[in-house]
Structure 1
Amino acid sequence: MATVRVQKPGEEKIDAHLARLGADDVLVRSWGSLAYFKDQRDVAGEAARSSKHAGADKRPDADQRTDAGRDANGHTGPRAGERSNTSPVLHGDFSLNVTNSITAGWVLGHGLETITAAHDLDRDQLMALLAACPRGRVAVTLHHHIPTFHTEHCVYAHLLSTGRDYRTCGRPCEKHEVALRDRVGLVHPVIVDVGCRNTVFNAQAQSAATLVPDLLARGVRRFRLELVRETAEEARRLYAAYAKLVAGAMTPADVVKAAAVHEQFGVTRGTMRTLTVLR
């Protein structure tokens, strides 16, 4: 389950609704959602401790927490793989824009079990982030269409209805697909979120397949494939190719070739290219 990526003041009720659904894991995609779920976990933890220790003699904490709230493995809150009966395991999305070890340490210390590296890191910057973070707690997106920008303006309502908002537009986004064609002919999908905001995704897919051997060597075990309008068959093909790559049964070049079969506008390395620095 995932929160919204763009959250405005007064929209905390969306997080409250997600919390009531009782998911085991939640992908936290905004700072507001991180604050909400952390507060919920703190309240649940305090209630559990009060219930557990009510009327009992004080004794050393079985988790051997330090004064900083960390256990022997550097985790805060529930240990890896643990969850309370009321609090989901939280995973940070790339939209939290974690680009350095300082930010990574802060968010991991505030309740996130894992984080996804920001999309604007190149190869060298990504490897530096991994070297400075606890092994196994950083996820990397291997295949995705970059979300180029978000807008409050609804292209669907503007083009396909006479309404001004969700109450009067007739919700054409539930029946139609819209994309924006740029000056060179690339077609960029437009997706509507639960708050009626539009996100424009890059027409070209970006792949980090060539980095997989180095990522595995640095302890990365969580990989993500971000899909936009792929069919079920295309999704299965992508998943199978990248699974074989991680298992060492397929080369990065073959994976990119397999991914390009259904990508009308091709597959690029995108931000993973390390640019030469002129001094």
Structure 2
Amino acid sequence: MLRTRVITAVILLIVLLVVLLYGGEIGWNLFVLTVLVGAFWEWARLGLFEPAKAVVYAVAGGALCVLIERSLNLQTQAFPLLALASVFWVALAPWCLRNVSVGILANKSIHGLVGFVLIAAAGLALVITKTYGIVFLLSTIAICFAADIFAYFFGKTFGKRKLAPRISPGKSWEGAIGGAFSVVALSWIVVLLAGTYPELKNTWQAMAFERWHPIVFTFWLVVLSAYSVVGDLFESMLKRRAGLKDSSQLLPGHGGVLDRIDAQLPVLPLAILLVSAIVA
């Protein structure tokens, strides 16, 4: 299993680097579209859609994302979709997690509609983020990766109090707090190094720090770290409802696409909304 996991990770990293360095706008958009179609299909599976309907849902979701991307100026006209997704994550997702209930998502039509909003918003946020440059893109998605990696480390080392035992018994408050602390610390390091290494001025962190008060800057980093955990827990709750260990087996050794991007679903739209304030 470990060998399969490593091989898959290496292949994905190579594909990502090739697309970023040589794919241009079209290559990146096609890469994002592929990820979205896989995520839509898995979301349908988590909603207990019949296999044929899950495929139709995935294709329709991908097609609608292409239509939106081609029809709108995403940097100025994608705000309503990003805001709608962020409202769900901020207002409804924590309530669902607290009550360990999918609530209105038990209705398949609503589940499908919510999935389109959440997944499409994250995907379009990825497309928008790339327009600010590769460094900006990588620095944005790195927030979730750092929160996840260090939460695992702190949780394994110091974890005692369970964060959500009925949803994900392995997660602890110590891990979540350690992950958030690490995101803040690493972001401050990036900011401090930006004066020495000019390329770091193009990171999300440096741009945010330049515009915001240090306290506000730190606050939003903590918020983004917290909602990366919310995204992870929310997908875990849906998997428990569906009786699945992984969202799929599309990525050998890693599970499914949603298993890899669940933390990014709430963070990317919110990060882009904050970017709008930064560059305004």
Task: Tell me, yes or no, whether TM beats 0.5.
Answer: no
Higher relative contact order (CA 8 A, sep 6+): 2
TM-score by length of 1: 0.25
| Pair member with larger Rg | 1
TM-score by length of 2: 0.24
Higher strand share: 1
